[in-house]
Amino acid sequence: MANRCTRIPEIMLPPKGTDLSKWAVIACDQYTSQPEYWAETDRIVGDAPSTLRLTLPEVYLEEVDVAARTETIHKTMRRYIEEGTLQTLPAGIILTERWSGGACPRRGIVLAMDLEAYEYTPGSASLIRPTEKTVVERIPPRLKVRQGACMELPHIMILIDDPDRTIIEPLFEKTASFDRIYDTDLMQNGGHITGWFIPKGVETDTVEAGLEALCDRAAFNQKYGCTDAQALLPYAVGDGNHSMATAKAYWEETKKSLSAEEQQNHPARYALVEVVNIHDESLIIEPIHRILFGVETNELFGSLTAFYESQGCKAYVAEQAPADAAAHYYPFRAENRSGVFVVENPKWSIPVATIQTGLDAYLGAHPSAKIDYIHGADVVAALAEKPGNLGFILPDIAKNDLFRGVIFDGVLPRKTFSMGEAHEKRYYMEAKTIVK
């Protein structure tokens, strides 16, 4: 089937009786400036079996002993399999429910995605694409960790746009008939997670059929108001994109020595991910505001206005929001000035793409100016009071707009949105082999 990107995997988990509160550790790309977090994690784990021993926290990626750490990880992976610390389940998926302090849990399904259907290069028309730009320089050091590894542990989150909640959510009405395979608190303020195993069969067939229906061209065009000129986008990488890009790089390297037949079912071709509906109530997509340092207000707006006019738009500073509902606009604050910056007839689909493209052009021509990305509007207001600073407040992002932005504009600008705090990111739990 041309549009089937999924594979029902054989997942590895520790046997019952394992202390999963020590086994599960947060994604390696979190707390990269807080070595004390990882020191405390190490203290909590002690000698217990743990995914901490199977992954390399990126806080250590630049350490001089990174090669020795990597070799130890690879040895531990093999030992965990040999000693039965990890056991392989029959083919199936895992239904997950994660409480991390909010009013409702995040719900998802763990399965495998075909890396042949994923591409991160700009302009890609692949069925699985990143939401934000992939920094290719981040791949090689991560690839070194994967080379020589016999398994992967995923922190990748794939988003689907299923507003009617037809794929994942109905499974939670049937949890009494599934085997509850884990149910544990998560260390370091991670909350609580429960997982149910669903063996390959009727239920997984229904899930895969539902996911494949997201590729229906007529329904896709109607949903997003597009034509066949826009590439299908059933799957958007919401978190862990550099992990997925590394898996892709490893697969491209691995398949060179395989025949076409061997490539079809090689385990490195499929990456273990958690699929989450973007309409899940737990996913709070927050805008990230912009603050500029070392700018002169009139000169900045003059440059931005000229840029947008060169792109066929009309741009100006106003006292209040425009009447034109199609315009993109941004309240701003500076030391002795506030107002709204307006871009009419924008060529970009979502407001964050409009403003970031203009700011990128400005910063490229003004190397002494700097930018930072701020979560709270109150923080922007405080910083904007200082001479030479100016802050833009970005609008809320509609969940539908995330997919629409990628479909029409390509990968979204960096720092487009925030999806949860650090402690809410995925914890390692499941594993899957990547070698024959």
Report the pLDDT value the prediction gives residue 2, as an integer from 0 to 100: 59
Residue with tokens 């924008």: 346
Q: Give the integer Cα–Cα distance in Å for 88 and 80.
A: 12
Report the pLDDT value the prediction gives residue 170, as an integer from 0 to 100: 98
Angle, nearest 10°, between helix axes 351-365 and 297-310?
110
Report the pLDDT value the prediction gives residue 402, as an integer from 0 to 100: 85
Angle, nearest 10°, between helix axes 399-409 and 217-224?
110
The dihedral built from the CA positions of residue 38, 41, 47 and 53, taken in this order, carries a sign that is: negative
Q: Pick from 59, 52, 58: which is nearest to 76 by CA?
A: 52
The dihedral built from the CA positions of residue 129, 132, 135 and 141, taken in this order, carries a sign that is: negative
- What phi, psi does 42 have (nearest 5°)? -60, -40
Q: How far is CA 147 from CA 73, 154, 243, 413, in A?
A: 11, 16, 13, 30
Q: How far is CA 227 from CA 83, 127, 232, 234, 394, in A?
A: 54, 16, 10, 15, 29
> How many CB atoms are located within 10 Å of the residue 12 CB?
20
CB contact at 8 A, 161 and 214: yes
Q: Give the integer Cα–Cα distance in Å for 200 and 125.
A: 30
DSSP lists the bridge partners of residue 237 as: 130, 158
Amino acid occupying residue 331: P
Report the pLDDT value the prediction gives residue 1, as an integer from 0 to 100: 44
Q: Give the integer Cα–Cα distance in Å for 171 and 198.
A: 10
pTM recorded for the entire structure? 0.86
Domain extent listing, the chain: 6-284+421-433, 289-393
Q: Give the integer Cα–Cα distance in Å for 269 and 116.
A: 7
Q: Show the tokens assigned to 121.
A: 């290069």
Report the pLDDT value the prediction gives residue 347, as an integer from 0 to 100: 93
Question: Which contacts (CB < 8 Å, 24+ apart) does range 301-304 have?
Answer: 301/341, 303/361, 303/362, 303/365, 303/366, 304/341, 304/358, 304/359, 304/362
Render 67-119 in DSSP notation, one character per residue: HHHHHHHHHHHHHHHHTTSSEEPPSEEEEEEEESSSSS-EEEEEEEEEGGGB-
Question: Which contacts (CB < 8 Å, 24+ apart) does range 247-252 have?
Answer: 247/115, 247/146, 247/152, 247/271, 248/115, 248/118, 248/119, 248/120, 249/139, 249/143, 250/143, 250/146, 250/147, 250/434, 251/115, 251/116
Q: Show the tokens assigned to 140.
A: 């090689």
Amino acid occupying residue 165: R
CB contact at 8 A, 127 and 215: yes
Provide the residue-wise pLDDT of the chain in tens; the chain has 436 residues.
457 899 999 999 999 999 999 999 999 999 988 999 999 999 999 999 999 999 999 999 888 999 999 999 999 999 999 999 999 999 999 999 999 988 899 999 999 999 999 999 988 999 999 988 888 988 999 999 999 999 999 899 999 999 999 999 999 999 999 999 999 999 999 999 999 999 999 999 999 999 999 999 999 999 999 999 999 999 999 889 999 999 999 999 999 999 999 999 999 999 999 999 999 999 887 788 999 999 999 999 999 999 999 999 999 999 999 999 999 999 999 998 999 999 999 999 889 889 999 999 999 999 999 999 887 889 899 999 999 999 999 998 888 788 988 898 888 777 777 677 788 999 999 999 999 9
- What phi, psi does 371 have (nearest 5°)? -130, 150
Query: Which of 231-262 are b and which e, b meaning 16 or more Cβ less than 10 Å from the residue's Cβ?
Result: bbbbbbbbbbbbbbbbbbbbbeebbeeeeeee
Q: Pick from 186, 196, 159, 195: which is nearest to 101 by CA?
A: 186
Q: Give the integer Cα–Cα distance in Å for 202 and 177.
A: 13
Q: Give the integer Cα–Cα distance in Å for 357 and 25.
A: 37
209 CA to centre of own chain: 24
Decide: helix, strand or coil at residue 289: strand
Q: Pick from 49, 172, 102: which is nearest to 431 by CA?
A: 49
